């Protein structure tokens, strides 16, 4: 079967034939004895105007290629996550080589992950089918496992091309079977690598008919993937750093909530991309009491996470020693903050629960919200400064009762800030969300937390990355 015409892509034209060279004009010769007769015609010459047209066409092609590469790299540079960068790469590469389908296999050589596969025109089932090909026979597997130079195409460019999978004699039978099942007849694969990080993965594009990219397309996709690999490496470093901060942060927070008679708890926690310093806690105290805490330190990143861990651990110790006096607990925490973190401030709220009676103190933190069948109201607390803001912090505690079947909501101010509204309107939105909890689910703190979170932050804002951490702790009193 003859190879079909490669689809035309904006900025990528067929190769222009090399221009013919001009021959110097030779003087007319008259054969001997025929003086004055007709001259012998000179050799066929290429006129200068034709030569100039060929050069202009070639320059126009180069300019078009550079424009296309510039546009594609600009689009790639605007991607804000590793997943978006991978999707942009597989789309742009398909356009450059004239393919309709493809996949990117991300598998960093250092073994630190993340390992993932992104497809274009391929569903998860299709990708799973391709992964059943023995790794040594799959083009991406050969690249990831270290392609021998003699099998890698030209010395300066690693690539694996299968122009006609149906008729390739040495092809693994499983590879041919998968190609026939998924309906592709040719493939072209290149590595994704940088000098500093080594191989990050491989890109594979699939053709519906036997074909392969022409030299010009190979050159363009080579230039593009070299830039793309550097961009992926930067996203990979950022993703790993965020994952490390998130892991440390999660380890510093409770691994599970306590189970106490007459009390059920649920928590929803979202971390901003910078890894902020908001925390929550629920710990059993002597004589069957329960300590509840929410708070947050200023700043973001690893230093804020470390400060959060230190403050939370200290608050736990103070709560065990003198939890029945929330003001004393926060006073001790404030003294520790001023001595160990003089450049940082923090908000905190601590409540000592004995049965359905709560004694609570707050330092610059948002007031809790009581949700029940007969009321939805904020707990009235006295205004107080955050910890570390004054030379000596002090604020009175407040005592209140919750009724059987009511739920107490403790939350961080990130929940309000993520609404993007002024604080008074954000508080009103939170109150309305709590009041609208369906009666059929009010006895389930998990359902109450989900309803409030997704009502206050609709349209996916509850799960999307945001500049603010979100903590929502729901405490149901039976």
> Looking at the structure, do residues 168 and 278 belong to the same domain, yes or no?
no
Q: Tell me the residue range of the domain where 79 lies.
A: 48-242
- 32: in domain: no
At residue 145, what are phi and psi to the nearest 5 degrees?
A: -90, 5
Q: Is the per-residue pLDDT at 44 higher than 80?
A: no
> Looking at the structure, do residues 272 and 348 belong to the same domain, yes or no?
yes
> Looking at the structure, do residues 323 and 237 belong to the same domain, yes or no?
no
- 30: in domain: no
Q: Is the per-residue pLDDT at 38 higher than 90?
A: no
Percent of the residues in the chain that have a pLDDT greater than 90, as a whole number: 59
Instruction: Output the domain CATH number for residue 310.
Output: 3.60.40.10
Q: Is the per-residue pLDDT at 336 higher than 70?
A: yes
> Looking at the structure, do residues 238 and 282 belong to the same domain, yes or no?
no
Instruction: Output the domain CATH number for residue 70.
Output: 3.30.450.40
- 386: in domain: yes
CA-CA-CA-CA torsion sign (172, 177, 180, 181)? negative
> Looking at the structure, do residues 171 and 265 belong to the same domain, yes or no?
no
Do residues 275 and 293 touch, judged by C-beta distance below 8 A? no
How far CA 324 is from CA of 10, 288, 329, 364, in Å, comes to: 72, 12, 9, 20
- Among the candidates 193, 221, 242, a domain finishes at 242
- 304: in domain: yes
> Looking at the structure, do residues 114 and 167 belong to the same domain, yes or no?
yes
- 8: in domain: no
Q: How many domains does the chain have?
A: 2
> Looking at the structure, do residues 219 and 269 belong to the same domain, yes or no?
no
Map tokens 């890109």 to a residue: 203
Higher pLDDT, 29 or 182: 182
Output the pTM of the full model.
Answer: 0.63
- Among the candidates 188, 216, 242, a domain finishes at 242
- pLDDT tens for each residue of 53-100: 777 777 877 888 888 889 999 999 999 999 999 999 999 999 999 999
Please give the pLDDT value at position 273: 64
- 26: in domain: no
How far CA 359 is from CA of 293, 397, 398, in Å, comes to: 12, 7, 6
Please give the pLDDT value at position 391: 72
Rounded CA-CA distance 461/457 in Å is 5
Please give the pLDDT value at position 385: 87
Please tell me the least confidently modeled range out of 16-25, 172-181, 209-218, 237-246. Answer: 16-25
- 53: in domain: yes
> Looking at the structure, do residues 257 and 134 belong to the same domain, yes or no?
no
What pLDDT band is residue 465 in, cutting at 50, 70 and 90? low
- Among the candidates 242, 267, 297, a domain finishes at 242
Burial of 225 (0-12, 13-18, 19+ CB in 10 A): buried
Task: Give CA torsion, residues 177, 183, 185, 186, to 10 deg.
Answer: -100
> Looking at the structure, do residues 259 and 337 belong to the same domain, yes or no?
yes
Rounded CA-CA distance 477/261 in Å is 9
Helix or strand run (H / E) with residue 265: strand 263-270
- pLDDT tens for each residue of 310-321: 899 999 999 999
> Looking at the structure, do residues 334 and 383 belong to the same domain, yes or no?
yes
> Looking at the structure, do residues 172 and 314 belong to the same domain, yes or no?
no
Rounded CA-CA distance 326/318 in Å is 9
- 59: in domain: yes
> Looking at the structure, do residues 189 and 289 belong to the same domain, yes or no?
no
- Mean of pLDDT values over 167-186: 94
State the DSSP code for 401: E
Higher pLDDT, 246 or 471: 471
């Amino acid at each position: 079967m003859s190879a079909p015409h490669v689809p035309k892509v904006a900025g990528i034209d067929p190769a222009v034939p090399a221009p013919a060279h001009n021959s110097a004009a030779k003087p007319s010769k008259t054969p001997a004895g025929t003086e004055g007769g007709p001259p012998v015609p000179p050799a066929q010459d290429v006129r200068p105007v034709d030569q100039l047209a060929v050069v202009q066409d070639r320059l126009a092609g180069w300019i078009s290629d550079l424009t296309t590469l510039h546009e594609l790299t600009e689009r790639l540079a605007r991607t804000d996550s590793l997943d978006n960068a991978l999707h942009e790469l597989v789309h742009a590469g398909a356009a450059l080589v004239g393919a309709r389908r493809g996949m990117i296999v991300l598998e960093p050589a250092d073994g630190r992950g993340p390992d993932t596969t992104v497809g274009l025109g391929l569903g998860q089932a299709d990708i799973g089918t391709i992964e059943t090909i023995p790794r040594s026979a799959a083009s991406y597997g050969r690249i990831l496992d270290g392609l021998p130079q003699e099998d890698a195409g030209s010395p300066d460019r690693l690539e694996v091309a299968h122009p006609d999978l149906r008729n390739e004699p040495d092809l693994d039978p499983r590879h041919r079977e998968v190609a026939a099942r998924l309906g592709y007849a040719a493939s072209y694969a290149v590595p994704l690598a940088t000098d500093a990080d080594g191989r990050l993965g491989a890109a594979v594009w699939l053709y519906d008919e036997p074909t392969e990219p022409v030299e010009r397309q190979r050159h363009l996709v080579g230039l593009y993937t070299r830039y793309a690999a550097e961009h992926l490496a930067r996203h990979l470093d950022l993703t790993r750093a965020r994952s490390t901060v998130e892991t440390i942060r999660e380890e510093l927070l409770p691994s599970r909530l306590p189970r106490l008679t007459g009390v059920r708890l649920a928590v929803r926690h979202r971390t901003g991309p910078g890894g902020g310093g908001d925390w929550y806690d629920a710990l059993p105290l002597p004589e069957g009491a329960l300590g509840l805490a929410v708070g947050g330190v200023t700043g973001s990143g690893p230093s804020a996470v470390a400060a959060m861990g230190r403050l939370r651990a200290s608050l736990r110790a103070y709560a065990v020693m003198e939890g029945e006096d929330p003001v004393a607990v926060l006073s001790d925490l404030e003294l520790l903050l001023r001595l160990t973190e003089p450049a940082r401030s923090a908000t905190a709220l601590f409540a000592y629960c004995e049965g359905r009676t709560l004694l609570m103190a707050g330092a610059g933190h948002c007031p809790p919200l009581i949700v029940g069948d007969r009321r939805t109201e904020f707990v009235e607390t006295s205004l107080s400064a955050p910890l570390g803001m004054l030379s000596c912090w002090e604020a009175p505690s407040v005592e209140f009762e919750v009724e059987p079947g009511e739920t107490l909501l403790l939350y961080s101010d990130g929940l309000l800030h993520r609404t993007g509204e002024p604080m008074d309107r954000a508080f009103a939105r939170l109150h309305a969300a709590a009041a609208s909890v369906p009666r059929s689910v009010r006895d389930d703190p998990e359902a109450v937390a989900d309803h409030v979170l997704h009502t206050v932050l609709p349209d996916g804002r509850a799960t999307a990355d945001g500049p603010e951490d979100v903590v929502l702790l729901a405490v149901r009193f039976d």
